[in-house]
Amino acid sequence: MTSRRVLITAALPYANNHPHLGHIAGVYLPADTYNRYLRLVGVETIFICGSDDHGVPITISAQKENSTPREVVHRYRSIQEQGFSALGISFDHYSGTSTCEGHQELAQEFFLKIRDRGDIEEKVTDQFRCTDCDMFLPDRYVEGDCPLCGASDARGDQCDACGGAFEQDLLIKPRCVNCGSNPQLTSTRHWFFRLDRYEERLEEWLESREGWRDNVRNFSRGIVREGLPARSITRDLEWGVPVPLEEAKDKVLYVWFDAPIGYISFTREMFRARGQEDEWRSWWSDEDVEIVHFLGKDNIIFHAVIWPSMLLGHGDFRLPTSIPANEYLNFKGEKFSKSKGVGVTAQQILEQFDADRVRYYLTAIAPEGKDSSFTWEDFIQRNNDELSDVVGNFAHRVLTFTVKNFETKVPAGVEDSPFLEEVLSVVSEAREQWSKSFDRQRFREALDRVVTLARHGNRIFDAAEPWKSRKVDLERCGADLAALLELVHAVSLLLLPFLPVSANKLAATFSDATADPETAVMKLGTEHLLQPGALLNPPGILYPRLELLDDEEEGPAS
């Protein structure tokens, strides 16, 4: 067991919607896959997430549903947890910023510590106010044209089109989201985080981040080099963490100041629930811990610029080790959008397909380096051409042949197979490249290594021609099948981080050899691991081919 420890977080979803496949592919699935990989190879990890309960998205949902923010949070957090669980996304702890014990106090502590350093200042500023609605308009209550790129429908704090962030008074052609009227700039008092005082330290830190994805490192460095304006971290709202100042009783902390602190407060809550009162602190302060934040590209500025500045300002916690942000997964070329009815939710697709089919496709098209697109036809084709025809077909034909001819047991004489050396070679290479891809957080590439290994298996099976050798030399046939079973076993283990249910079924075929998966993975390709005469437990057809309905718009069926 290595002494390495990794704390994995996934960006907190707003507790006001069903998780859609864009969210899953960009954040939660890669985080879960990485966590499963690390544990498989013996790394100690904790996987933390929870709902982002505060801020305007929740209050807007409450207004639309004639409900309260707490009721919205309670309902949707349960929906989200069920959706994640159904997809096999397994957190060590899932909490929420409105219910986590001690979260409010920790967020207020961050504010006060940074203020005590002199890095939070109070000033009167202009903010949009809608006279028709008789209220100041927080960021998501006002939309307009982006002042940076000109895109329409930019929010009052950020543009999804270019990823830029700004104060809302810079919006062009602003309009109230509630009533559509033109709001007026009105003076109000707020507190601002002096990010400019962290520019030099941020640039030095970002420059040292070797191995980061270009979209994160380059974008963040560009933002810092342009100069960081002071950023308002308070809002005129009732729902949120109260600003801990007597003169700010009517204000709350900006949700993006409050939310990432949840990574720490949720960790503390988890360990306290386990009776380990102070264990949480080592995960956020010890040098041997790697802190990895998974998120979408729209959150890069918050996690790679603002959050590190907050951590520096607090002073007691370490900065993130890695921020593997993904680009967008689109739906038929359009951005997933709940409000516009574009996309597919996890609940919808799981009504027709098992979770491993969804996990496979979303990993195979993961938007790691650029945007990618979900289509039903491609979902069916990739599952059929790769998972069914390559992986499933290889395992099934080897196991079926062994069941019929060798009493469902591992045949003897594997050392006599002329294919053993090649099998060990391709397995060794696959395992090594699989590990390297995972360690670079390139999950799409790591999955392809396993599919390619199964392709080698089909090729070697065809070259061995056991349907011929069993008629003339049964011992030779058995030796070749024993070698091929080693390859099936390797495929099952290397698939475990990606497809936990079906890969475990396949690995259970070789129960004796996979009793200790960590040891088995490390030995792959170095020696044959299956014992002659060991009873096999074939899973049957793991990946039957899928079919598409005549009307694609209705969605597919299996």
pLDDT tens column, 259-270: 999 999 999 999
Cα–chain center distance at 159: 22
Cα 470 to Cα 400, 402, 412, distances in angstroms: 14, 11, 14
Q: Which residue has the higher pLDDT, 177 or 522?
A: 522
Helices (H) then strands (E): counts for the chain: 22, 17
What proportion of the chain, given as a percentage, has pLDDT over 70? 96
pLDDT tops 60 at residue 556: no
Cα 44 to Cα 7, 324, 367, 402, distances in angstroms: 9, 19, 27, 38
pLDDT tops 80 at residue 333: no
Average pLDDT, the chain: 93
Q: What kind and span of H or E run contains 220?
A: helix 214-225
pLDDT band at 340; cut points 50, 70, 90: low
Determine the average pLDDT of the residues in 147-171: 85
Burial class (CB in 10 A: 0-12, 13-18, 19+), 414: buried
Residue 167 has what pLDDT?
Answer: 81
Check: pTM over 0.75? Answer yes or no: yes
Residue 369 has what pLDDT?
Answer: 87
pLDDT tops 80 at residue 335: no
Closest CA to 505 of 462, 471, 537: 537
For 5-117+256-353, CATH gives: 3.40.50.620
Interatomic CA distance for residues 22 and 362, integer angstroms: 9
* Contact (CB, 8 A) for 46 and 8: yes
Pairing state of beta strands 44-51 and 93-96?
A: parallel
pLDDT tops 70 at residue 62: yes
Pairing state of beta strands 44-51 and 154-155?
A: unpaired
Asked which of 142-156, 193-207, 272-286, 530-544 is least confident by mean pLDDT, the reply is 142-156
pLDDT tops 90 at residue 557: no
Residue 60 has what pLDDT?
Answer: 84
Write out pLDDT tens, residues 125-151.
Answer: 888 988 888 888 878 789 999 999 999
pLDDT tops 60 at residue 397: yes
Write out pLDDT tens, residues 293-316.
Answer: 999 999 999 999 999 999 999 999
pLDDT band at 42; cut points 50, 70, 90: very high
Residue 215 has what pLDDT?
Answer: 87
Residue 512 has what pLDDT?
Answer: 84
Sheet-wide strand order for 325-326: 93-96, 44-51, 5-10, 289-296, 325-326
Interatomic CA distance for residues 380 and 547, integer angstroms: 7
* Contact (CB, 8 A) for 447 and 512: no
* Contact (CB, 8 A) for 305 and 224: yes
Interatomic CA distance for residues 88 and 228, integer angstroms: 40
Cα 422 to Cα 454, 477, 483, distances in angstroms: 13, 16, 9
For 375-523, CATH gives: 1.10.730.10
Domain boundaries, the chain: 5-117+256-353, 375-523
Residue 139 has what pLDDT?
Answer: 80
Q: Quick count: other Cβ atoms within 10 Å of Cβ 505?
A: 17
Cα 335 to Cα 6, 210, 340, 346, 453, distances in angstroms: 32, 31, 10, 16, 34
Residue 308 has what pLDDT?
Answer: 98
Q: Which residue has the higher pLDDT, 415 or 338?
A: 415
Interatomic CA distance for residues 483 and 141, integer angstroms: 64
